Amino acid sequence: MTAETSDSRIAWAARICFGLVFALNVQCAVQFIAHPAGFMGGFGLSGPEGQLAVAGLGVAFLMWNATYPLFIWQPQRFEVLGAVIITQQAIGLVGESALYLQLGSFAAVAGPAIMRFILFDGAGLLLMAASFAWLKMSGRGRHRSQDSL
Confidence band (pLDDT; 50, 70, 90) for 6?
A: confident
Residue 144 within any structural domain of the chain: no
Residue 118 within any structural domain of the chain: yes
Average pLDDT estimate for 117-124? 98
Residue 149 within any structural domain of the chain: no
Share of the chain above pLDDT 70, in %: 91
Residue 43 within any structural domain of the chain: yes
What's the domain range around 51? Answer: 3-139
Residue 22 within any structural domain of the chain: yes
Residue 97 within any structural domain of the chain: yes
pTM above 0.85, yes or no: yes
Q: Do residues 132 and 14 touch, judged by C-beta distance below 8 A?
A: yes
Average pLDDT estimate for 37-56? 96
What's the confidence (pLDDT) of residue 2?
Answer: 66
Tally the domains of the chain: 1
**Mean pLDDT lowest for which of 22-31, 82-91, 104-113?**
104-113
Fill in the DSSP letter of residue 41: G
Q: Do residues 13 and 132 touch, judged by C-beta distance below 8 A?
A: no
**CB contact set of 112 (below 8 Å; sequence gap of 6+):** 42
Residue 127 within any structural domain of the chain: yes
Residue 147 within any structural domain of the chain: no
